[in-house]
Structures are given as structure tokens and as C-alpha cells.
Amino acid sequence: MKNKANIFLSLILIFLLSGFVQGQDCSNFCVWPGDVNNNGVANHYDVLPLGLAQGATGPFRADANVDWSAKEAENWADFFPVNGANFKHADSNGDGFADEFDIFPIGDNFGQQNDLFTGAQEGNNLIGPDLTAQLDQTTYTDGQTITIDIFLGG
């Protein structure tokens, strides 16, 4: 009986340590600087969620550098309405504020992908009708007024 308990505890220890040695899959719990919408990639789709979170505050990160790696972060009070990601992801620079300075890590890490991410990477598609824009002409001159028709659905 004692031998089975030792084997069981050894297996648990190996399982736990293997996660730390190989890198934890903390795509849902850690912040990757620049991946504001927490979809596994830093790109232009992260700018709108950053705007939605502007002014939010929460705990700062102990590891506040902006290199492309997982950063442990405590949850903030608010969540994004579309995908449910916590506002902590908007704090790309880790200072405890979602503000204009958090746009720089998006640019610094643009195109980087989180290889540990287990969710849907496309994650950039909003549910609902398409939003399109149509310009009134194809060329313009400096200072000219332009008209853009915006269509929701259809």
C-alpha cells in the first residue's frame, strides 16, 4: 500500500514539474504583452479592445517588461463583452493602467504568436452582421473632402 502511495505521489510530482520545465500553458491566465484580446497573437485586432478598456485599472504585474512571453497577472474587475477576456490583457506594459501607453507593446510584438495558446486563434471575428465601408471615389487630392458610406449587414 505504501509503495502505491509513493508511486502516486511521484507521478503527481512528475506531472507538476513537467509543466514548469516545459513552460506552462497559461494562455487563459497569463498576459502576453500586446495580445489585448487574448486570442494568441498580437496584431491590429488588439487596438479596439485596448480602446474599450481605456481608463480601467487593476493590479500591476511584478514582471512588467513587454517582451513576448507569458506574464503572470492577477485578474482585474472587468471583462471584454465579446470574448470574456479579462481587462488585465489590456495592460500590456504591466503598470496597472489600461491607457495609451499600452499600444506600444502591440507594435513591438506585432505578428508574434503564442505557441502555447489553446483557444481559437481567429478570435477576431465578431458575432453579428458584417461592417463594411465604401469610398465615394478611388483617388483623392490633398485637402479634398471624402465621403465614406458605412454598411452594417447586407
Give the torsion through C-alpha atoms of 26, 29, 33, 39, to 10 deg: 80
Query: What residue segments make up the domains of the chain, in order of their start?
Result: 2-152
Q: What is the pLDDT of residue 118?
A: 66
- In this structure, what C-alpha cell is assigned to residue 55? 481608463
Query: Are 89 and 38 contacting, i.e. CB atoms less than 8 angstroms apart?
Result: yes
Which residue, 101, 108, 97, is CA-closest to 32? 108
Tell me: the pLDDT tens digits for 88-145? 999 999 999 999 999 999 999 999 998 877 665 544 445 566 667 788 888 888 888 8
Residue 23 to residue 11: CA distance in whole angstroms: 18
Q: What is the pLDDT of residue 152?
A: 75
Per DSSP, the three-state class of 104 is helix
More confident residue, 101 or 12: 101
Q: Report the run of H or E that residue 22 belongs to, with start and end.
A: helix 2-22
pTM above 0.85, yes or no: no
Q: What is the pLDDT of residue 117?
A: 75
Tell me: the pLDDT tens digits for 29-86? 789 999 999 999 999 999 999 999 999 999 999 989 999 999 999 999 999 988 889 9
Q: What is the pLDDT of residue 139?
A: 83
Residue 106 to residue 99: CA distance in whole angstroms: 13
Which residue has 495558446 as its cell numbers?
A: 117
Which residue, 27, 38, 36, is CA-closest to 103? 36
Q: What is the pLDDT of residue 106?
A: 96
Parallel/antiparallel/unpaired status of strands 148-152 and 131-135 = antiparallel
| C-alpha 84: how far from chain center | 11
133 has which bridge partners? 150
